[in-house]
Amino acid sequence: MNKAVKEPFALNYGSYEEAREFLDNRTLKTVAEFTVNWEAIKIYCSLEEDGNASYWDAEYAEQQWGGIVAPPGLLLTWAMSLQWHPSKKRSHHFIAVTVPLPGNTLINVATKTEYERHLFLGDRVHVEDRLIDISREKNTRLGIGHFLTTQAKFTNQKDELIAIQTNQLFRYNAHEE
Amino acid sequence: MAKTMGLKYWNEIKPGDVINKITMDVPYEKVILDAAATQDFFPGHHNPEYAKNQGQKTIYLNTMAIEGFIDRIATDWAGPHTFIRMRQMQMKNSIYAGDTMSGEGEVKKCYQDEQGRYLIDVSILISTQDGPRVPATMTLELPTRE
Start-end of H helices in chain B: 28-38, 48-53, 63-78
**% of chain B surpassing 70 pLDDT:** 97
Mutate to test the interface with B, among A48, A116, A117, A161 (most CBs of B within 10 A): A48
- Between B2 and A136, the more confident residue is A136
Q: A-chain residues within 8 Å CB-CB of B25?
A: none
pLDDT at A26: 80
Structure ipTM: 0.96
Residue A38: pLDDT over 70: yes
Q: What is the predicted pLDDT for the residue at A5?
A: 60
- Which residue, among B98, B103, B102, has the nearest Cα to B58 in the 3D structure? B98
**What's the pLDDT tens digit per position in A137-157?**
999 999 999 999 999 999 999
Contacts of B34 in chain A (CB under 8 A): 47
Q: In whole angstroms, give the CA distance from residue A96 to residue A99.
A: 6
Mean pLDDT of B58-86: 98
Given a cut of 90, whether residue A54 has pLDDT beyond it is yes
Banded pLDDT at A83 (limits 50, 70, 90): confident
- Are B85 and A83 within 8 A, CB to CB? no
Whether the CB-CB separation of B117 and B141 falls below 8 Å is answered with yes
Which letter does DSSP use for residue A26 in this model?
Answer: B
B143 backbone φψ class: left, alpha, beta (φ>0; ψ -120 to 50): beta
Contact A103, A152 (CB under 8 A): no
- Residue scoring higher pLDDT (B143 or A84): B143
Convert the pLDDT of each residue in A95-123 to its tens digit.
Answer: 888 899 999 999 999 999 999 999 999 99
User: pLDDT-based confidence at B109, cuts 50/70/90?
Assistant: very high
Query: Residue A38: helix, strand or coil by DSSP?
Result: helix
Res. B113: pLDDT tops 90: yes
Give the residue among A41, A4, A19 at the shortest CA–CA distance from A150: A19
More confident residue, A94 or B43: B43
